[in-house]
Amino acid sequence: MSDMVDQAAGGEEHAFSAEVGRLLDLVVHALYSEREIFLRELVANAADATDRRRFEALTDAALALPEGAKVRIDPDKDARRLTISDDGAGMSKDELARNLGTIARSGTRAFGEELARHKPEERSGLIGQFGVGFYAAFMVADHVDVVSRRAGSEEAWRWSSDGKGSFTLSPATREQPGTDIILYMKDDADEFLDAWRLESIVRKWADHIAWPITIRSDGEEKPANAGTALWRKPRSEVTEEQLTEFYRHVSHNFDTPWATLHWHAEGTIDFTALLFVPGSRPFEFGEQVRESKVRLHVRRMFITDDAALLPPWLRFVQGVVDTEDLPLNVSREMLQATPVLQRIRKAVTNRVLNELRTRAKDAESYAKFWDNFGPVVKEGIWDDAEYRTDLAGLARFRSSTQEGWTTLAEYVARMKDGQEAIYYLTGDNPDTLPASPQLEGFKARGIEVLLLTDPVDSFWPDRLGTFEGKSLRSVSQSHADLETFEAPPSEGEKAELDTLLPALKEALGDAVSEVRGSTRLVSSAVVLAAAGHGPDLQLQRLLRRSGQAVPDQAPVLEVNPAHPLIRDLAARVARGEPITDTALILLDIARIQEGESLKDPTAFASRLTATLTHLQGGSA
């Protein structure tokens, strides 16, 4: 307890403990990111004190709460004063000095420890630690008075301070037990004297505290909070309408949730969760931050939505997790890196995954979910080693041979005899990708290819590596694989490539790393392939678009020896005719097929026009 240093007129003056003196400036200027937090802290303390009195009354009926116990907020614009009152346990003179004059000393904490010693099977349900949070009042107030009367006592005392190093204690009058916290507001804190502003803060931070909270406006006390923690109710007592309303409240969406998860976990950790998977993709969902915004509550009090209770690949999940056990740091905003929080995260993540596995059995319903959030879930295959295999099993894909969605397991079950890889093709456009020249050889041999069109699809296959013992391989880098499968009968003659390929390489120069004959083309004349074992062409394009450096590695140009154009070109080379313009046109055609932008559209148009003019004149 702080030492009394002087006897002031009408009260005893005390110096704050050294810890308080050092902390006050930090609280006012740096501890909290938003000034409105002060109201959350004071309302939490008021609800805490009310809970404390309720529990004390279990063994002492004289301490029973009055009928209609609540937390009252009374703004007075004329006096520039804000009062937060409760009917709780109150504090004695010594408790005021001890709890408000020192750090790491809390009436709430001491009460919780006492309760645990005597009745370990009960949980107090208390909200926080009266002490540190209280000092947030000085962010908005030049001066603070606390008038408190301990339940069971006739005495009331006033604690008074400007937060500048000392406080005074003096006798006071209060008709009923409880506490009044009176804030004399700073000149720049007018907004916190408006009833509508105070109500919005309560709705945001303390809407589901069990005790009623009222705000005086126009001479009347008006309810400010819902007063019911919906997630704390048994599932059988909650209607679908209530769940939908609550979902819309926490998510700010207007749809109906696709899935609702409501459960209470007991054992090594104790928490209640009410989570929702949205029924539609939120507007500008792709623009949002990647962190989960599930709300963390401790004994009904909202603490933060930045606790990362779910991994980024489940960030679309909305809702509340309310725990009994989570220890907090000096501010409710700064959670300790505690094993309890880690266990809660793991338990909540596993529960959501189990729900997705169960609902995936309904293919039609799950398809709607995957359309909305599949690209986000696939991010976990890329960046979460712990859940990578689980997510691969939940993923759905379009296919070159199947209608609708398919799974990796279903693909493996359909693989051809001797097939050792799961083949996939990445691209930007789901409408044009099925017609890509990259697929021709695979289609001709009856080999299924997964069609991937989300940006993340260019990344996760390499990280996953294998599925059920089968490697994942891009078709653009599987030139040699096709040779292990029997090719369909070839129709027509094939061009002689011995002289054509060197001629094409000479004409194209450094624009290509190699020109080679293709076994994977059927109807197209040319196709591009990535050189070596680096990133495939789609990944290279994505990296360039994002401004990242990509190794300057020219692609491979593959030509179809059975195509009439290639046969004609080989004949022209045999006759000694120049083929540079035609070679450049073929390279540009291959780029267009891959969805690339032409480096010189004007030159392409000029060469193509000249070629068409020449053909129109009758030359072969």
Q: What are phi and psi of 587, to 5 degrees?
A: -65, -40
Judge if 347 and 408 occupy the same domain.
no
pTM exceeding 0.75:
no
- For range 457-480, the mean pLDDT: 91
* CA 98 to chain centroid: 41
Give the number of other Cβ atoms within 10 Å of residue 408's Cβ.
20
Judge if 324 and 239 occupy the same domain.
yes
| Per-residue pLDDT reduced to its tens digit, 345-365 | 999 999 999 999 999 999 999
Give the number of other Cβ atoms within 10 Å of residue 380's Cβ.
25
In a domain? residue 28? no
Could you tell me where the DSSP H helices lie in 27-141? 37-56, 93-101, 107-118
Q: What is the dihedral of CA 449, 453, 456, 458, to 10 degrees?
A: 50
Task: Pick left, alpha or beta for residue 205 (phi over 0 → left; psi -120 to 50 → alpha; otherwise beta).
Answer: alpha
| Per-residue pLDDT reduced to its tens digit, 253-293 | 878 999 999 999 988 889 999 999 999 987 655 545 678 88
- Are 535 and 550 contacting, i.e. CB atoms less than 8 angstroms apart? yes
Judge if 372 and 463 occupy the same domain.
yes
In a domain? residue 492? no
| Per-residue pLDDT reduced to its tens digit, 296-330 | 888 777 777 888 999 999 999 999 999 887 754 43
In a domain? residue 224? no
Work out whether strand 470-474 and strand 421-426 pair parallel, antiparallel, or are unpaired: parallel
- CATH assignment of the domain containing 592: 1.20.120.790
| Per-residue pLDDT reduced to its tens digit, 415-439 | 999 899 999 999 888 888 999 999 9
| Per-residue pLDDT reduced to its tens digit, 164-185 | 878 899 999 999 999 999 999 9
| Per-residue pLDDT reduced to its tens digit, 189-218 | 999 999 999 999 998 888 878 899 999 999
Q: Going by C-beta distance under 8 Å and a sequence separation of 6 or more, which residues neighbour residue 358?
A: none
Judge if 371 and 339 occupy the same domain.
no
In a domain? residue 16? no
Residue 127 pLDDT level (bands cut at 50, 70, 90): very low
Judge if 282 and 344 occupy the same domain.
yes
pLDDT value at position 543? 65
- Are 578 and 588 contacting, i.e. CB atoms less than 8 angstroms apart? no
- What distance in Å separates the CA atoms of residue 57 and residue 54, rounded to the nearest whole number? 5
Work out whether strand 213-217 and strand 71-76 pair parallel, antiparallel, or are unpaired: parallel
Tell me if residue 328 falls in helix, strand or coil.
strand
In a domain? residue 7? no
Judge if 60 and 165 occupy the same domain.
yes
Judge if 212 and 278 occupy the same domain.
no
- Are 170 and 10 contacting, i.e. CB atoms less than 8 angstroms apart? yes
- What distance in Å separates the CA atoms of residue 273 and residue 295, rounded to the nearest whole number? 10
Work out whether strand 466-467 and strand 178-185 pair parallel, antiparallel, or are unpaired: unpaired
Count of domains forming the chain: 4
Q: Which domain holds residue 194?
A: 33-219
pLDDT value at position 329? 42
Which of 244-258, 332-346, 348-362, 464-478 shows the lowest mean pLDDT across its residues? 332-346
Question: DSSP assignment of 426-471, as one string?
Answer: E-S-TTTGGG-GGGHHHHHTT---EEE-SGGGGTHHHHH-EETTEE
- What distance in Å separates the CA atoms of residue 307 and residue 292, rounded to the nearest whole number? 8
Q: Residue 318 pairs with which residues in a beta bridge? A: 276
- Are 277 and 257 contacting, i.e. CB atoms less than 8 angstroms apart? yes
Q: Going by C-beta distance under 8 Å and a sequence separation of 6 or more, which residues neighbour residue 32?
A: 38, 136, 139, 331, 333
Nearest to 558 by CA among 497, 506, 510, 499: 497
pLDDT tops 50 at residue 118: no
| Exposed / middle / buried, residue 620 (Cβ in 10 Å: 0-12, 13-18, 19+) | exposed
Share of the chain above pLDDT 90, in %: 52
Which DSSP state fits 375? H
Tell me if residue 144 falls in helix, strand or coil.
strand
Q: Which of 484, 512, 544 is the last residue of a domain?
A: 484
In a domain? residue 12? no
Higher pLDDT, 48 or 564: 564
Residue 482 pLDDT level (bands cut at 50, 70, 90): confident
Judge if 51 and 198 occupy the same domain.
yes
- CATH assignment of the domain containing 331: 3.30.230.80
Residue 512 pLDDT level (bands cut at 50, 70, 90): very high
Judge if 354 and 401 occupy the same domain.
no
pLDDT value at position 320? 95
pLDDT value at position 570? 93
Judge if 60 and 199 occupy the same domain.
yes
Residue 21 pLDDT level (bands cut at 50, 70, 90): low
The beta strand positions in 25-139, using DSSP E, are 71-76, 81-86
| Per-residue pLDDT reduced to its tens digit, 321-337 | 998 877 544 344 456 56
pLDDT value at position 336? 56
- What distance in Å separates the CA atoms of residue 547 and residue 544, rounded to the nearest whole number? 5
Judge if 209 and 247 occupy the same domain.
no
Judge if 303 and 435 occupy the same domain.
no
In a domain? residue 307? yes
